[in-house]
Amino acid sequence: MEWFAAPEYWLSRLLLQRMLAALYLIGFLGAAAQFRALIGADGMLPVPRFTARVPFRQAPGLFHLHYSDRFFAAVSWTGAALAAALAGGLGDAVPLWATVPLWAVLWLLYLSIVNVGQTWYSFGWESLLLEAGFLGAFLGNEDTAPPLPVLWLMRWLLFRVEFGAGLIKLRGDRCWRDLTCLRYHHETQPMPGPFSWFFHHLPAPLHRVEAAANHLTQLVVPVGLFLPQPIATYAACLVVLTQLWLVASGNFAWLNWLTITLALAAVDPHRLGLPARPGPYGAAPGWYEGLVVALTAAVAVLSYWPVRNMVSRRQIMNRSFNRLHLVNTYGAFGSINRIRQEVVVEGTDEPVVTRHTVWQEYGFKGKPGDVRRLPRQYAPYHLRLDWLMWFAGISPAYARPWFLPFVARLLVNDPATLRLLRHNPFPGAPPTHVRATLYLYRFTDWRELRETGAWWHRTALHEYLAPVSLGILTRSGYRPPLGRRIRTVPVDRLRRPGGHPPGPAPHHPPGPPE
The predicted model gives 304-312 an average pLDDT of 94
Give the pLDDT band of residue 513 (cuts 50, 70, 90).
very low
Nearest in space to 385 (alpha carbons), one of 360, 417, 423, 344: 417
Assess whether pLDDT exceeds 60 at residue 498.
Answer: no
Q: Is 455 among the domain residues?
A: yes
The predicted model gives 227-239 an average pLDDT of 96
For 108-141, what is each residue's pLDDT tens digit?
999 999 999 999 999 999 999 999 999 999 999 9
pLDDT at 34: 98
Give the pLDDT band of residue 353 (cuts 50, 70, 90).
very high
Assess whether pLDDT exceeds 50 at residue 489.
Answer: no
pLDDT at 477: 66
Assess whether pLDDT exceeds 50 at residue 263.
Answer: yes
Number of domains in the chain: 1
Residue 369 to residue 189: CA distance in whole angstroms? 15
Assess whether pLDDT exceeds 80 at residue 481.
Answer: no
Check residues 69 and 4 and name the one with the higher pLDDT. Answer: 69
**Alpha-carbon Rg of the chain, whole angstroms?**
24
Assess whether pLDDT exceeds 60 at residue 442.
Answer: yes
Q: Is 440 among the domain residues?
A: yes
Assess whether pLDDT exceeds 60 at residue 469.
Answer: yes
Amino acid found at 293: V
Q: Is 459 among the domain residues?
A: yes
Please list, in sequence order, all residues whose beta carbon lies within 8 angstroms of the beta carbon of residue 298, skipping any fewer than 6 positions away. 326
Give the pLDDT band of residue 361 (cuts 50, 70, 90).
very high
The predicted model gives 459-470 an average pLDDT of 95
Q: Is 335 among the domain residues?
A: no
The predicted model gives 322-330 an average pLDDT of 95
pLDDT at 128: 97
pLDDT at 473: 87
The predicted model gives 194-205 an average pLDDT of 97
Q: Would you say the C-alpha torsion 391, 19, 136, 305 has a positive or negative sign?
A: positive
pTM: 0.92
pLDDT at 210: 95
pLDDT at 270: 84
Contact 217, 209 (CB under 8 A): no
Q: Is 436 among the domain residues?
A: yes
Residue 310 to residue 169: CA distance in whole angstroms? 12
Lowest mean pLDDT of 59-68, 311-320, 370-379, 420-429, name the range: 311-320
Lowest mean pLDDT of 269-283, 291-305, 469-483, name the range: 469-483
Q: Is 137 among the domain residues?
A: no
Give the pLDDT band of residue 5 (cuts 50, 70, 90).
confident
Contact 327, 299 (CB under 8 A): yes
Q: Is 101 among the domain residues?
A: no
Burial classification of residue 410, based on how many CB atoms lie within 10 Å of its CB (0-12 exposed, 13-18 middle, 19 or more buried): buried
The predicted model gives 258-271 an average pLDDT of 94
pLDDT at 1: 54
Q: Is 454 among the domain residues?
A: yes
Give the C-alpha distances (Å, rounded to integers) separating 485 from 47, 49, 473, 477, 478: 11, 9, 15, 13, 10
Q: What integer best gives the mean pLDDT of the chain?
A: 91
State the residue range of the domain holding 383.
340-475
Assess whether pLDDT exceeds 70 at residue 220.
Answer: yes
In the chain, what percentage of residues exceed pLDDT 70? 92
Contact 333, 512 (CB under 8 A): yes
The predicted model gives 395-403 an average pLDDT of 91
